[in-house]
Structure 1
């Protein structure tokens, strides 16, 4: 009888308690975010392969956040590093931004504008770039963005597709055909409209916006529209509009009260031809093509600055494209062969914003400010998250005095420590590298890695590589090497000069496999 009772109790525990324990391990919020991520994949991707890859990235992202696949030693190191970061007032990894952090400013069935929230919402470490925002524009085939302007300067990079861009300034209209690799600048206030000329492919543009009114904030203004989106002309009184346009109220009402289809539409076939090839109505003044300095510049029209079997680096600055001078911006594009590595380097003045276009990257960076612990999770959305952001900023503010005292104490007996920031990034993820912070970029084993990079404060910037033939460490005098590394100078030089390639080199896995193969051959 007693044994029967025990078996019944055990069965009850197994049937009732086990599911409860399993549920307690689930994280409903993360599961909701993963479902939302997959739904976004289905909505924003057209090809089945792209949808499948996008969903896999969602699963991997949230699996990483749950901490799966991480060994005990790594967790202990991260815990120690996070404790150090808390003492200094900053924790986590504020330098990496996942694609789901972008917020949709404009979205219709024909396309969207997605913008990353201001960098300073993530961390006060980004005060130096608080006037800069990253935006991704995606247009379905033959989609058209209605005329508008922004209170921000814009630097476009065409990541994929073909488009016609029209800009309108004072007594002047300029038309430009854009293709992959083109860079174009649009000063704040210029009215702009754009059409995706391709009937099959999506158009994708990555843009850097430099705000000019409120730091880190910008607005979009639509004028030549009716009710959807509403025209800013509707904010004026009828009497002001009647006098300004010299027409009666009824005609103005007909023009401004038509209900549209949204800020991004697909025109009719007849309208499409006029938009793609240019039609009558606006005229052009002065007639003819735009000035040389205002034309787009294709990043691939010049030979790459660096090119070898492991990667290519294209760079564009104000010396080749004068409009960049006004914005103090440079642009670079890296194509790193699968499994290969861009060796550690740092910038003297520029803050670099990397946007992953294709492939997957692992970025490592040495940082004196932040612990290299777990990546920050999820997106900053909703009031609660904003409050968390402000609370984090207050905590940083409260510890700044202690941090400044610590910085002043360096070199006076206090320990100097650099933390490893490591991020695994997928397409449309983003990484920010401040000046003087050494960084290395590695492509995954599966496919090539393509990255577009905006360099802020680019004027007089210098890029210093720390390994390879052009390493600055090779230029240190032998006596200085011996004293600094505390080994014989010959030993130091053998290590520092062992790499015969520059910038892009064989990645860790291939290098390890090569050494193992050499060892087997010798044996």
Structure 2
């Protein structure tokens, strides 16, 4: 009787523990009405996109990452789209950005070691902008749209929304951080009249992303010319603007043009003067380098796909941000075998194609099993088993960030190089309640590692082989028919 009572108590405790585990994640158990896909099937898809900037020249939107119980450290994923010859005006953020150029070409300039550092970025490049660094971003292409995916680390943010922008340049939209100072303070700081400053701080009204082509505003064209100069030319241009200031005394339109140009010169001087002077004294100064993800040799590659990762040992700026980067390409019907990230939470963006992702809870129950397509963003908490599968008729190409700049070393649960294969022995066999020979037969059946074929892959390959065979014998058929 005592044994039964004890067993009953243990059973109640076990059931209570399972219910608490499920409750921590806000999950309800499946029932027949919900079918195989319960209401939490999209639990790990980031779906609440927030548009932060929208202008005629471009836009920026952000997907909010999760922290707390689900992830030890949230990362936000941002998307920047900029039209040809456009500029994201100078600003600084309370969050670190890691940029990944998914298409187009860009120029990024920011204050680095008290100097103006500029870098040309191309497709596949990765670049870091530390929190608090004043920077600008421009699309250097005349006809191509610039698209950037970025990670946003909110750990240093002020806690106001997703992150906070502090614009250097601006007018009524965006508002410059300088515009809030008392007029007399600004007059003294710039050494110009209040009338001139009034014009200066009210001209810009078309948002943070602006056109800088010749067909747009005169103030924007000034930025266009300035941004197109080499760094040594910028210094020369600044000095020339200062010399020309004393000589230009024209009236009406020429006078207005002079005042506008002089005001721009004052702002540039106040922000970049020390940097420009140091640039003249230290011509050998090098700006932070970028790292191209697509130029790297894959860490793993076989007939079914490839994967590559960047960590702090590959690209040193990642060390300070504590973020890693990866890219995976799965061929049609192929699968990234079930695995676990032991060191980091993973955020993924589907760049091309479609497929499926399944994520499991630590207790082995289904957390999410859903289709993913181009543009979807998912995240996988640290320690949670998961796998991705490409659709049978198209590839699945995804890029993403991890919350650690150390080598992630994912643990693959299945495959010829899996941890189960490494641990194969009497202990593992006993854990499954089978003989060691049975265990070996099961684990040795799979000859591929990391990225595996599936029945869809095989059927696609069979279809391809049948087509090739048909076209080979087609001339013979035509001969017979003739």
What residue is the counterpart of 2:358 in the other structure?
364
Q: Distance in 1 between matches of 2:328 and 2:460?
A: 25
Of 203, 225, 246, 1:258 maps to 203
CA contact (8 A) 1:183 1:298 kept: yes
The aligned counterpart of 1:468 is 415
Alignment check: 8 A CA contact 1:175 1:290 kept: no
Q: In structure 2, how many angstroms separate the alpha carbons of the residues matched to 1:429 and 1:508?
A: 25
Match of 1:97 in 2: 46
Tell me how far 1:129 sits from its aligned partner: 2.0
TM-score (norm 2): 0.73
Match of 1:76 in 2: 35
Aligned to 1:160: 103
Aligned residue runs from structure 1 range 163-178, under 5 A: 163-169=106-112, 171-178=114-121
3-state SS, counterpart of residue 76 of structure 1: coil
Please report how far the alpha carbon of residue 295 of structure 1 lies from its aligned counterpart in structure 2 after TM superposition: 0.9
**How many residues are treated as equivalent by the alignment?**
383
| Preserved contact between residue 482 and residue 488 of structure 1 (Cα < 8 Å) | yes
Map of 1:228 onto structure 2: 173
> Whose Rg is larger?
2
Query: 397, 422, 426: which one pairs with 1:479?
Result: 426
Match of residue 395, structure 2, among 432, 435, 448: 448
Match of 1:339 among 328, 333, 337: 333
Question: SS at 1:180's partner residue?
Answer: coil
Q: CA deviation at 1:284?
A: 6.7
Secondary structure of 1:491 counterpart:
helix
Structure number with higher helix proportion: 1
Among candidates 345, 348, 362, match of residue 354 of structure 1: 348
SS of residue paired to 1:128: coil
Contact 1:150 1:190 (C-alpha < 8 Å) held by counterparts: yes
Alignment correspondent of 2:444: 497
Q: Is the 8 A contact 2:392 2:457 kept in 1?
A: no
Distance 2:277 2:356 in 1: 48
Contact conserved, 2:46 with 2:65, CA < 8 A, in 1? no
8 Å CA contact 1:174–1:289 kept in 2: the answer is: no
- Specify the alignment match of 1:275 in structure 2: 227
- In the TM superposition, residue 251 of structure 1 has moved relative to its aligned partner by 2.4
Relative distance call for 1:201 and 1:284 in structure 2 (3 A) is farther
Unaligned runs of 5+ in 1: 1-71, 83-90, 369-415, 518-523
Q: Deviations over 1:288-336 (max 9, x none)?
A: 46547x2111112321101112111111111111111111111011111
Query: 1:515–1:436: structure 2 CA closer, same or farther, 3 Å change rule?
Result: farther
Asked if 1:244 corresponds to 2:189, the answer is yes
- Give the equivalent residue in structure 1 for 2:300: 306
Listed one character per residue, the Cα deviations across residues 159-212 of structure 1 (whole Å, up to 9, x for unaligned) are: 111111111246300111111111100011111111112222211111111121
| Residue 93 of structure 1, CA deviation | 3.5
Question: 1:173, 1:284 within 8 Å by CA — same for their partners in 2?
Answer: no
The CA RMSD over aligned residues, in Å, is 2.7
2:66 matches 1:133: no
- C-alpha change, 1:435 and 1:105, in structure 2 (3 Å) is same
Partner of residue 54, structure 2:
107
What is the deviation of 1:78? 4.3
> What's the CA shift for 1:350?
0.4
Specify which of 66, 76, 83 is matched with residue 119 of structure 1.
66
Cα distance in 2, alignment partners of residues 423 and 299 from structure 1: 28
Are 1:360 and 1:424, in contact at CA under 8 Å, matched by a contact in 2?
yes
Q: How far is 1:148 from its partner? A: 1.2
Instruction: Give the Cα–Cα distance (whole angstroms) in 2 for the partners of residues 188 and 199 of structure 1.
Output: 30
Matched, 1:207 2:150: yes
